[in-house]
Amino acid sequence: MNLEMIQSFTPAHFLFLALAGIAAATAVGVVAFNDPVRSALCLVGNFFTLAFLYFTLNAELLGITQVVVYTGAIMVLFLFVLMLLNLGGVKMMKEKFDVKRVLGFGFGALLLYVIGAQVILPLNTITTAKAANDFGGPEMIGRALFTTYVWPFEVASILLLIGVVGSIMLAKRKV
Amino acid sequence: MDWLRQVFWENEVGNALLRVLLFVLPILTLVPGLIWWERRLLSWMQDRIGPNRVGPFGLLQPIADGVKLFFKEDITPKAVDGLIYFIAPAVALFPAFALGATLPWGPNLKLTPIADVNIGVLYIMAISSLGVYGVVLAGYASNNKYSLLGGLRASAQLISYELAMGMALASIVLATGSLRLTDMVKAQEGPLWGAVPQVQNWFIFTPFGFIAALIFAICVIAETNRAPFDLPEAENELIAGYHTEYSSMKFAVFFMGEYAAMFIFSGVFATVFLGGWHAVPINWSALGMEQVAHWNGLLAPLFFLGKCALGITFFIWLRATLPRLRYDQLMSLGWKSLLPMGVFNFIVVATWILTTSLYGIGGGIATAVGAFAVIIFFTTRIAKSANANVEFLEKRTITMESGKGDPKPQEVNA
Amino acid sequence: MLTNYVGILLLVLVAATLCAAMVTLSWVLGPKRVTPFKTSPYECGVEPLGSARERFPIKFYLVAIIFILFDIEVVFLWSWMTVFKSADQQFQIFSYFEMLIYMATWVLGYVYAIRVKAFDWDETTSLETHEGAIQSEVAA
């Protein structure tokens, strides 16, 4: 990265870099913290920053849904479960040679390669936006959901119904 | 002066900063006044005098309290989870401030709202759902039985009432056809029931809007943990709930969050149901009084603040009037009354829009009448089942009285 | 488009700074005289008994998961609400009945949750029938 490249950056670039930096840092925090509650909090922060990343991509509805569903609902459940189980800090056994660690690094490198080759490199050649102007707006999504994607939409409701019944069955004391 | 204009008016980021400051600074200055107003009004309602020594009418009392709290010892108990204990008050205060980003308090789009986005209502839902974290984390990190119970109660209460709040807002979004809050204010400038052009169509005047307003108001009280929904901090059973272990300014920050949230939720209520920044529901332009319409726009922030003050007074009045709910009553009110009411209201609004578009005004009226009939039918059914429940409870009492160890009622009387 | 969100981002930054300042200021300004009694967990003046991190009823967990599921159901509808009013009649009729079917499954789940008393907090009646509660009480 040379100086000319930095000078050609727009404010949007810096905004993206800042947001992406926070997102990456919180993502590392999820794995690095020993206390599960802190990891969960990092995940909350990560989801929240991710919403802003969606905003910068004009996907407003996706971004705000991210906050409503993940940050506002699912992470609350995560925290509940962590408090329910009352894990505290993890006491890890030290192994001499951990196969999981090596495998993890291997798969991580593989994933990095796939993303680099399939996503980042092709994106470098694109100069103009392909999406329409109101691409991520609620109107566009509302229309698409009720015309093109009617079946997935209805199936989703049945899926959620199964979720309601299943969770109540699990929590029931007597079956 | 010219450079000020350059920075805060022409420059987009500077303009955004101006809007943020115009929103945050009034809240910061008004919160102490709010605390004063609550204490004075509450005292008056309870036949007391309240704080009246510091400054005129005791107006400086909250500021004196604030300064005192800043210099108080900040005790961190030994058993707490340090980092989470430290950030929990900040997490509780944050959503209260961030909530109002889409709230228009006047007609000038250069000054308000902070971000006129096409997901305004959803943004409010999203940020208010973040309010759970403050109490859960405070309750968990304190490592105190009262705190944990308070935090748990609060979180279950907050998420239960959020659903009904969403449904109440959904009916209004459906009737407006937009998630933008400025569009909602605009929709309420239209003629009343589409027929009377002189009067504005504030949503609280429409039947579905009235029900939605009722649900929303109850949910807001529950979301801000105010009496009669203040179970998380019920002082006679939980000491102070989730902020038992907090002292000094950290303790005050929880209250600041509560008051700021009250203030902004009153603003949301005013915007969604009470015509936003308009003073009275009269279309001055339709009456030919352009001068009054002009002044109405200029004084908009004052009218908006007035509506917020009314909302807060309502909050305080409720606190002075109603006793606290029991926990199972709270849960059944949220899940069994408000939520089905909200969903039903939502479906009725959808039907009303469809029939109006198909058959004109007559279809809309027919829908309203039909919905009313359905409500009557169900309320009579529910009243019957409630009676059955009372019978069941009586049966249970009898079985307990006839048990071995229980004293007979007559013996107790004798 | 993007500039719309600059305001929100700025507000989030300002709010975060304010919150952080308030929490740290009293930490900095206040005196610090630590005594063992002051720093022990508050339990009405007596020595704390056991750990506070007790396990708590599964009810809270159930409420949270049902909230998520219902919340997601409504999230799907938010975008439809913005197009329904101004759409053409054909789309209105079609999407109205789509929505009714969708809400019917919602009502089904809701009625099930009410029938098994998932929202009842009275321990004697929760997740059981009235008769079961009476019988267990009579037996006890």
> So what's the ipTM on this one?
0.81
Contact B166, B216 (CB under 8 A): no
- Helix or strand (DSSP H, E) at B125: helix B120-129
Long-range contacts of residues C130-137, Cβ cutoff 8 Å, at least 24 apart: C130/B392, C133/B396, C134/B395, C134/B396, C134/B399, C137/B396, C137/B399, C137/B400
Give the pLDDT mean for C98-124. Answer: 81
Residues of C in contact with A83 (CB under 8 A): 53, 56
- The residues with which B199 forms a beta bridge, in sequence order, are B282
Which residues in chain B have Cβ-Cβ distances shorter than 8 Å to A11?
A: 13
Average per-residue pLDDT in chain B? 81
pLDDT at C126 over 50: no
The CA distance from A34 to B382, in Å, is 51
Cα nearest neighbour of A140 on chain B: B118
Question: In terms of C-beta density within 10 A (0-12 exposed, 13-18 middle, 19 or more buried), how is residue B232 classed?
Answer: buried
* pLDDT above 60 for A38: yes
Task: Quick: pLDDT tens for B134-165.
Answer: 888 888 888 787 888 888 888 888 888 988 99
Q: Check residues B387 and C27 and name the one with the higher pLDDT.
A: C27
Residue C125 has pLDDT above 50, yes or no: no
Tokens of B83: 């980092």
Taking CB atoms within 8 Å and a gap of at least 24, the contacts of B396-405 are: B396/C133, B396/C134, B396/C137, B399/C134, B399/C137, B399/C138, B400/C137
Give the whole-angstrom CA distance, residue A93 versus residue A100.
14
Residues in chain B closer than 8 A to A77 (CB atoms) = none
Q: Which residue has the tokens 């010219």?
A: B2
pLDDT at residue number B355: 86
pLDDT band at A96 (very low <50, low <70, confident <90, very high): low
**Which residues in chain C are contacts of A141 at CB distance < 8 A?**
79
Q: Distance (Å) from the C-alpha of residue B33 to the closest C-alpha of chain A?
A: 31
C-contacting chains (≥3 CB pairs under 8 Å): A, B
Given this model, what pLDDT does residue A132 score? 67
How high is the mean pLDDT of chain A? Answer: 80
User: From the CA of B130, how many Å to the nearest CA of chain A?
Assistant: 6
B82 touches chain A (CB under 8 A): no
* Higher-confidence position of B168 and A124: B168
Q: At residue B243, what is the residue type?
A: H
Specify the pLDDT at position B395.
57
> Quick check: C97 contacting A, CB < 8 Å?
no
Lowest-pLDDT range, A32-36, B389-393, C68-72?
Answer: B389-393
B24 to C51: CB separation less than 8 angstroms, yes or no: no
- pLDDT for A110: 93
Q: What are phi and psi of A53, to 5 degrees?
A: -65, -40
- Flag if C61 and A143 touch (Cβ within 8 Å): no
The C-alpha of C2 sits at a distance from chain B's nearest C-alpha, in angstroms, of 10
The predicted model gives B68-89 an average pLDDT of 81
Q: Evaluate if residue B414 carries a pLDDT over 60.
A: no
Quote the CA–CA distance of A143 and B10 in Å, as a whole number: 36
> How many angstroms separate the most distant Cα atoms in chain C?
74
Instruction: Considering only residues B411 and C23, tell me which one the structure prediction assigns the higher pLDDT.
Output: C23
**Cβ A160–C72 below 8 Å, yes or no?**
yes
Q: Does C90 touch chain B (CB under 8 A)?
A: no
Question: How is B80-112 classified by DSSP, letter by letter?
Answer: S-HHHHHHHHHHHHHHHHHGGGG---SS-TTTS
Mark yes or no for CB contact A157/C1 under 8 Å. no
Q: How confident is the model at residue C127 (pLDDT cuts 50, 70, 90)?
A: very low
Q: Could you tell me if B157 and B330 are in contact, meaning their C-beta atoms sit under 8 angstroms apart?
A: yes
- Does the pLDDT value for residue B287 go beyond 80? no
Of all residues in chain B, what percent carry a pLDDT higher than 90?
A: 4
Q: Which residues of C touch B332 (CB under 8 A)?
A: 119-121
Find the residue in A nearest to C109 (Cα).
A161
* CA A161/CA A154 separation, integer angstroms: 11
More confident residue, A70 or B227: A70
Inter-residue contact C74 to A161 (CB < 8 Å):
no
Report which of residues A147 and B410 the model is more confident about.
A147
What's the pLDDT at B283?
76
Query: Residue C75: is its pLDDT beyond 70?
Result: yes
Angle at C65 between CA C64 and CA C70, to 5 degrees: 100
Question: Is the pLDDT at B409 greater than 60, yes or no?
Answer: no
For residue B406, give the DSSP letter. S
pLDDT exceeds 60 at position C130: no
Token pair, residue B39, equals 């204490």
Interface test with A, best of B102, B118, B155 (most A CBs within 10 A): B118
Count of C-beta atoms within a 10 Å radius of residue C89 = 10
pLDDT at C138 over 60: no
Under 8 Å CB-to-CB from C46, ≥6 apart: which residues? none
Dump pLDDT digits (tens) for B36-47. Answer: 888 888 898 888
What is the Cα–Cα distance from A71 to A84, expressed in whole angstroms?
Answer: 19
Three-state SS at B199: strand
Check B114 against C10: CB less than 8 A apart: yes
**Ramachandran category for residue A132: left, alpha or beta (phi over 0 → left; psi -120 to 50 → alpha):** beta
B242 band by pLDDT with thresholds 50, 70 and 90? confident
CB pairs below 8 Å between A and C: how many?
133
Residue C108, judged by CB atoms within 10 A of its CB (0-12, 13-18, 19+), counts as middle
CB B83 within 8 A of CB B140: no
The answer to whether the peptide bond before residue A11 is cis (omega within 30 degrees of 0) is: no
Mean pLDDT of chain C: 77
Give me the torsion for CA of B381, B386, B391, B392, rounded to 10°: 110
Residue B155, CA distances (Å) to B137, B215, C113 in order: 10, 19, 20
| Nearest-angstrom CA–CA distance, B120 and B113 | 10
DSSP state at residue B282: B
Of the partner residues C53, C69, C128, the one whose CB lies closest to the CB of residue A163: C69
Percent of chain C with pLDDT over 70: 76
Task: Give the pLDDT confidence of B153-212 residue by residue, as tens digits.
Answer: 888 888 889 889 999 999 999 888 888 888 888 888 877 776 777 778 888 888 888 889
Q: What is the pLDDT of residue C128?
A: 47
Q: What is the mean pLDDT of residues C4-17?
A: 84
- In this prediction, residue B313 carries a pLDDT of 92
Task: Give yes or no for C140 touching B (CB within 8 A).
Answer: no
Asked if B126 and A76 come within 8 Å (Cβ–Cβ), the reply is no
Residue for token digits 């894990």? Answer: A87
- Of the two residues A163 and B10, the one the predictor is more confident about is A163
Q: Is the pLDDT of residue A60 over 90?
A: no
For A83, B64, B88, C120, the CA distances from B69, given in Å and listed in that order, are 31, 9, 18, 41
The residue whose two tokens read 């009037």 is B321
DSSP character for C42? Answer: P
**C112 or B403, which is more confident:** C112
Q: Which residues of B touch C8 (CB under 8 A)?
A: 98, 101, 114-115, 117, 123
Crossing angle for the helix pair A75-85 and A36-56, to the nearest 10 degrees: 180
Nearest to A68 by CA among B347, B138, C73: C73
Enter the tokens of residue B297: 């726009």
pLDDT at residue number B392: 61
Asked whether the beta carbons of A73 and A80 are under 8 A apart, the reply is: no
Cα distances (angstroms) measured from residue B268 to each of A126, B36, B100, B143, B204: 42, 22, 8, 35, 13
Segment B292-329, tens digit of pLDDT: 777 777 788 888 888 888 999 998 998 888 888 877 78
Q: What counts of helices (H) and strands (E) characterise chain A?
A: 9, 0
Task: Report pTM.
Answer: 0.85
Contact A161, C108 (CB under 8 A): yes
Contacts of B140 in chain A (CB under 8 A): 37, 79, 83
More confidently predicted of A174 and B365: B365
Confidence at residue B330, expressed as pLDDT on a 0 to 100 scale: 84
